[in-house]
Structure formats: structure tokens, C-alpha cells
Amino acid sequence: MTLITDPTLHDRLMALAERQAAAGEVRGPAAADPVNVPMIRHWADAMGDANPLYTDAEAAAASVHGGIVAPPAMIQVWTMPGVNRRAGQRPTPVDEVLAMLDGNGYTGVVATNCEQTYHRYLRPGERPVPATRFAGLTGPKRTALGEGYFVTWNVTWYCEEEPVAEMLFRVLKFRPRTGRAASGTQDGRAREQEAGARRDSGAGEGPAGARPDSGAEEAPAGARPPYPLRPAVNEDTAFFWEGAARGELRIQKCADCGQLRHPPGPMCPSCRSAARTYAVASGQGEVYSYVVHHHPPVPGRQAPFVVAVVELPEGVRIVGNVVDCPPSEVGIGMPLRVTYRQMDDELVLPMWIPRES
Amino acid sequence: MSSLSGRTAVAGIGATEFSKKSGRSELRLAAEAVHAALDDAGLSPADVDGMVTYTQDANQEIAVAREVGIGDLSFFSRVHYGGGAACGTVLHAAMAVATGVAGTVVCYRAFNERSGRRFGQPDARLGGEPSSQGLEMSWHVPYGLMTPAAWVAMFARRYMHAYGATSEDFGRVAVAMRRHAATNPAAWFHGRPITLEEHQASRWIVEPLHLLDCCQESDGAVALVVTSAERARDLRRSPAVIRAAAQGSGAGQMMMTSYYRDDMTGLPEMGVVGRRLWEQAGLGPSDVQAAILYDHFTPFVLTQLEELGFCGRGEARDYVAGGGIEIDGRLPVNPHGGQLGEAYIHGMNGIAEAVRQIRGTSVNQVRDVRNVLVTAGTGVPTSGLVLSAG
């Protein structure tokens, strides 16, 4: 089957995506029913979760919670609209994007990411309100399933004005291939999850149209997605990124006075010379300071992740990720050595791994 | 050279309610706050001939002027570097008034920072263009270091390492701010104090920062009216005289990521501001009865106490222990609850509180206030004020 592609489609999709993103957070209707024990009981039963906190009033009362609480993973359950959407329900910012993709042959759907964060337990009687924020549209990508677009959105559930849970959800909307079984490999970090049977009111999840048995061969075509974020580069900084692509950690060196400098710039602050060269660093360093990022989610990154200010023996500092090391083992003074990570077909980032001192 | 000290005053303050969803446009919030500030001063829109806001404010001076009914403007200016602009707006207004460029200047900041664009969220546009700022950010954002909490956490970790400060030391700042906010009806966290245990139990945002180390996100607006001290004395309210006003940036300065200077445990730009303020005011740390310290994240409150000379390097944790910065402590800091407790209006609500403390009209009034120190955004080029009675 050959689909005639409307040459303006991509631009229209991106323009729509930008508008939807600009709309910010859009609240959906509150849960149809308040958090209640019968639904908790059915869910816990189906999931095989025998935790008495969820169903046994007496045991729950004796716990730190002082009463029954809902399983945090039920958060989507409370605001799912069921098979038929309620009349007059306000659309989420995601719906129009999915509809445009559907209408242009991207009828397949596979959920690729679902990351939930629970801020606290819900109690019977509470009625969470979902608020959906359109986070991004990237593509077209050639994948084993067919050409498609990744659609990402965030949902925050509120009780009163308090955010109680958050979710990042991403689907691949694709044009199903014909004649060949879909196969491929998926980014190991992406947790595969089948999309809900029908759209969730708050989350706007797409209908499940395909098995999530394969994923994306990252092969971007057309517009470049926003993530991984790439550095802005100009004539003062290009040498650094070209070096990273070749596996060299380049530090700007004044061609006149020899001073090393990072981050680089067009003029030597010591001697005013604009003549520059670079030194290739030894690739050793140690942690000068670091953070462990947990929240909010950074697209393209799996939290927790570590970012460090690394001090080089050459006498400059540089920022980078510490990888291949549990965050809890990172500390100031930890010896590191540089490594390089290919972020996509173009971007290579220097990163840091522990080194025997 | 004639000094700016004492020649101008804040004659009026105004604000909207502080919320998580104003339900109104940012321009409307700005107009409401400006009207409120003019009413407070007993002035009319026709008296205004200058306006100053932040470069980050989405409301052009001319748009606010149109809505409020302000006519001819002879002075308009913007101050850069995020929340570092707060006291800078007052400095620019004071300079305009002191030099005769304008007679009465309104400073304002208005945004829907919670229901609209949230500063705490990753923004894919941070790197982007090869402007000097885009290039600066590009050494950090590709690594996922792209939220204010993360930028500050990097300084906080080094500070802890250097001075043995702990998360509990940061937590004592949050506890103090929430205690103050608890008795301030205008505060979002009115009636909701926290304990140190709750601070410690709150989830990680970016280690070493817990959720309760981070200020809230707010919708709202604040406006201030600056005119000559002489004129202010004839107006409705007791003037808050601008005894000193300063901006500051340090060597090797960046926006939030000055990680490449020799030392990462201070805020040299705030040191610049502090030295200028004390010199201009002819005062020292022991001469202020209250301080408004910018508190978007708790660790920098400690650093500011050190940079401004209230205590020595690394000693702030002892200074804040035992309620040192609470309303009855040795230096009451942010009696309104700060941005952790009252609202995050990019520092402008703190200036309004300083004015109330000088007037003696704060809901959490400190006794016998004569001079109040105010600071603006930390980790960025910043600014500060000393306001005095008289």
C-alpha cells in the first residue's frame, strides 16, 4: 500500500504541536467516582496485591496511614473515562494531535514510555483531577513498525490544588507496514507498555493498535527532535564538539600566553590574544561537586542521574554526567575518567566514569 | 559625585492575591498591582512618568501604561538576569528620579508562573541559539542540568563539603520561612507551618535539595511606586527611604552556573552588592533590624548571610540554628514568609514586605524597625536595597 503523503503535513503537525504545547496544562474532569474501596478491592484482586493497607480497614487503621489508602499505581484508574467518552468532555491538548496523525494514515499506536511519580497516597473520598500538558512531537522516524511520530505528554493529578501524582506518557503513532512482521530493538531504557484500551480522559492515551513487541530504530528524518538537547555551537566553541565527536576532550589554549580555559571564549582574559589553539586533556578528573537529579523529569533522561562539576588535572573544570556508577556511590573527590556517549546520529557528549585512583 | 542615598523613597506598594492559578492575563495582573500601588501612595496614573520592570516580564511598559491610564512616559527601563532584577528595578527608578529624568516611577513584576510557564520545568529552548547566554547554557543543558534547583544544588553540595553544613541546616531556613508564612494571611502557606522532620522527609528534587528546600511557584503581581523622598513625605503613607541601592556581578559570572571560579561556596556578586549597600548607606549588618533575603532555594540564604557580613564564612548554619533568623531571632529574615512561604513573585513581594516593616504595618511586624536590607535573585547578577524610616 502506498500512501500519498501530503507535503505540508509535517509542517502542519509541528505547528499544531507547538500550539498545543503553548496551551500549557489543561485540566480534565475530576474522577467520575471518588476514590473508593470497592474499586480498590477489584484492582488489588486483579493485580494479586494482598497488601492489607488497601482493603482491610482494621489493619490499615493500625498502620502509619491511620486508614485505608489507594494503591498509588491506581492513579490512572480514577480518571479513565471508560469505553465511551462522556459527552461534552473537554478535549486534552493531545487529542487533536493524535486525530491529525490518525487522519493521515498514522493509525498504529504503541506506548513506549510511562513514567509515574506518586507524591502521596490517595484516600477514599478524594476526587483527583487530571491535568494534561502536551510535551512534544518528534519525527518522522523510520521504525521497524513503520514510519511514525513520537507523541509525549505529561499528566499531573491534583487533589484540591495539591499535585498528588505525575506521569510522562509517550506513544509512537505509526503507519503500519504491510507484508513484513514488525521487529526490531528498543532503547533499553524505554519501558514498554501497552496503551490503555481506549483514551484516558486526562491522559489522552491513544487506542492500542499494535503489540508493543518492537520499537524504534532511531533514524530521524526531517525536523530534528528537541531531545537530546544539543548545544548551541559557534566559531568559538565548535572545536570542543568536533573533538568530542572524535573522542578527544579539547581544552582551549591561548596561542600566545598558553593559558588553558574552559568554557572557551573568543579572547584570552589574561593577555587579550584572540589567537587560539587547544590542548587535548588527559581524560582524567575528579568530582568537584555533583547533583543527583530526581525531579522534574528531563526528557530523554532516566532519573535519577548524576551531573558533576569535574576538576581536571590540567587546571580547569568541566560539567558532565557521571555514568556507569550508582548515584549513591558518587562523592566529591571521586576519581573519574572521560568516556564518550553517542546521543543520536550526530551528538556525542563527553561523560565520566569512575576510575581507580 | 552626589550620592543616591536618601534622595528617593518607595511611596506606595500594591499586589494582587498570590495563587496557583490567577485565571487572569499577566497584563491584567500587572495593571491591578500598579493601580493598587498608586492608590496606596495616594497618587493617580497621571502622576507617573516612568516605568521599570524585568527583562523577563511579558508585559511591556507601554502596555501596562495603556491599561492603567498612564500618559506620557519620559523613562522606561528593563533590568536583566531573572530574579536578580528585583531590587535593580528600584535602583533604576531611584536613579531616574534623583537625576530628574522622571518624577514618579512605577516598578512592577507580573506573571502566571504556576499556571503558565513554570521556571522549574526543563525548557528545550535553553540552549538553542548561539547567543552568549545560549552558549553558556550549552555547557550544561545537554547533560540534563537544566533546572534552577539543579543549578543551585551544585553549589549547595560544594558548600556542604567545604563547611560541614547539612541538609538540616538548609531545612532550618525552610522551617523559619514557613513559620512566618503561617501567620501571614496573604501567604499561600498561611496556617501551614512545617517541621524539620517534614523537611527531611520531603522527596528529593535534585540532591542535596529536598522539595521543601525549593520555593513555591506562584501567579501574581507586585508593584512599587518610587518618587523623591521629599515628595513622598507629603503623600498618604510614611515613606520607605531608599538609603542604598546597588547591582552586582562578579568575576567569571554566569547565569546560575558560575562553577568555574576559584571558589564555589560563595556568591561574589552578592558580596559586590553588600559592600556597595553598606558603603552607600553608611550602615553595617548590625544596623538593620530585619532582612529580606531572596529565598528561591534555602542554601543561598545561608550564603547570603555570609556574603553580606552577618556572619563569617561557613558560620551561617550556626547563625540560623535555634531560630536565629526567625521573627524573634537575632536577625528576623523574611517576616512575610519569603518565597518559600508567601509567594514566588521573583523577589518583588519581598521589597513590599520591607516597605511594610519600615511603615510598621506588617502582619508579622518586627519591633523598632529603622533599616531593612533587601536582596534579589541569587546565583545570577543581582541587586539589593537598604530601606529606612524617615
Here the ipTM equals: 0.96
Q: What's residue A193's pLDDT?
A: 32
Q: What's residue A90's pLDDT?
A: 72
Q: B258-306: per-residue pLDDT in tens? A: 999 999 999 999 999 999 999 999 999 999 999 999 999 999 999 999 9
In this prediction, residues A48-63 reach a mean pLDDT of 91
Three-class secondary structure of residue A278 per DSSP: strand
Question: Does the beta carbon of A307 lie under 8 angstroms from any beta carbon of chain B?
Answer: yes
Residue A180, pLDDT above cutoff 60: no
Share of chain A above pLDDT 70, in %: 83
Lowest mean pLDDT among A193-197, B141-145, B324-328: A193-197
Residue B346, pLDDT above cutoff 50: yes
- Cβ contact A232–B121 (<8 Å): no
Question: Does the beta carbon of B47 lie under 8 angstroms from any beta carbon of chain A?
Answer: no
The C-alpha atoms of residue B308 and residue B285 are separated, in whole angstroms, by 7
Cell of A245: 565527536
Q: What's residue B46's pLDDT?
A: 97
Active-site annotation of B, residues: 294, 344
Lowest mean pLDDT among A103-112, B25-34, B78-87, B130-139: A103-112
Alpha helices in chain B, H assignment, sequence order: 26-41, 61-68, 86-98, 132-137, 148-163, 167-182, 196-201, 229-232, 268-281, 299-307, 316-320, 338-341, 348-359
Q: Which CATH class is domain B8-116+220-389?
A: alpha beta
Q: In which band, very low, low, confident or very high, does the pLDDT at A219 lie, cut at 50, 70 and 90?
A: very low
To the nearest whole angstrom, how far is the Cα of A299 from the nearest Cα of chain B?
A: 8
In this prediction, residues A104-108 reach a mean pLDDT of 88
Share of chain B above pLDDT 70, in %: 99
The C-alpha atoms of residue B388 and residue A322 are separated, in whole angstroms, by 49
Question: Does the beta carbon of B6 lie under 8 angstroms from any beta carbon of chain A?
Answer: no
Q: A237-272: per-residue pLDDT in tens? A: 999 999 999 999 999 999 999 999 999 999 999 999
Pairing outcome for strands B50-54 and B75-79: parallel
Helix axes B268-281, B299-307, angle to 10 degrees: 50
Q: Where are the domains of chain B?
A: 8-116+220-389
The C-alpha atoms of residue B386 and residue B380 are separated, in whole angstroms, by 20
On average, the pLDDT of chain A sits at 83
- Cβ contact B130–A294 (<8 Å): no
Residues of chain A with Cβ-Cβ distance to B208 below 8 Å are: 291
Residues of chain A with Cβ-Cβ distance to B122 below 8 Å are: 296-299
Three-class secondary structure of residue A237 per DSSP: coil
In this prediction, residues B97-101 reach a mean pLDDT of 98
CA gyration radius for chain B?
19
The C-alpha atoms of residue B153 and residue B50 are separated, in whole angstroms, by 38
Residues of chain B with Cβ-Cβ distance to A236 below 8 Å are: 135
Kindly report the backbone phi and psi dihedral angles of residue A113, in degrees, each rounded to the nearest multiple of 5, phi listed first: -140, 140
Contacts of A304 (CB under 8 A, 6+ apart): A292, A293, A294, A327, B204, B207
A24 class by beta-carbon count within 10 Å (0-12 exposed, 13-18 middle, 19+ buried)? middle
Three-class secondary structure of residue B156 per DSSP: helix
Three-class secondary structure of residue A284 per DSSP: strand
Kindly report the backbone phi and psi dihedral angles of residue B162, in degrees, each rounded to the nearest multiple of 5, phi listed first: -75, -35
- Whether domain A1-29+82-225 has CATH 1.10.1740: no
The C-alpha atoms of residue A151 and residue B303 are separated, in whole angstroms, by 43
Three-class secondary structure of residue B388 per DSSP: strand
The C-alpha atoms of residue A85 and residue A313 are separated, in whole angstroms, by 62
* CATH fold of A238-354: OB fold (Dihydrolipoamide Acetyltransferase, E2P) (2.40.50)
Residues of chain B with Cβ-Cβ distance to A262 below 8 Å are: 260
What residues does CATH 2.40.50.840 cover in chain A? 238-354
In this prediction, residues A5-19 reach a mean pLDDT of 85
A4 class by beta-carbon count within 10 Å (0-12 exposed, 13-18 middle, 19+ buried)? exposed
CA angle B38, B42, B44 (to 5 degrees): 55
Q: B201-251: per-residue pLDDT in tens? A: 999 999 999 999 999 999 999 999 999 999 999 999 999 999 999 999 999
Q: B367-382: per-residue pLDDT in tens? A: 999 999 999 999 999 9
What residues does CATH 3.10.129 cover in chain A? 1-29+82-225
Question: Does the beta carbon of A85 lie under 8 angstroms from any beta carbon of chain B?
Answer: no
Which residue did the predictor score with more confidence, B390 or B19?
Answer: B19
Lowest mean pLDDT among A36-50, A306-320, B326-340, B352-366: A36-50
Q: What's residue A228's pLDDT?
A: 81
- Cβ contact B154–A321 (<8 Å): no
Which residue did the predictor score with more confidence, A178 or A260?
Answer: A260
Contact A203, A169 (CB under 8 A): yes
Cα–Cα separations (whole angstroms), residue A158 to A26, B120, B149, B291: 12, 18, 22, 35
- Cβ contact A307–B207 (<8 Å): no
Instruction: Write the DSSP assignment of B347-374 as a string of letters.
Output: THHHHHHHHHHHHT--TTPPTT--EEEE
Residues of chain B with Cβ-Cβ distance to A119 below 8 Å are: 203
CA gyration radius for chain A?
25
Residue B63, pLDDT above cutoff 70: yes
Question: Does the beta carbon of A328 lie under 8 angstroms from any beta carbon of chain B?
Answer: no
Cell of A282: 588527559
Question: Does the beta carbon of B212 lie under 8 angstroms from any beta carbon of chain A?
Answer: no
Residue A194, pLDDT above cutoff 90: no
To the nearest whole angstrom, how far is the Cα of B190 from the nearest Cα of chain A?
A: 15
Q: Can you tell me which residue has the cell 489508602?
A: A69
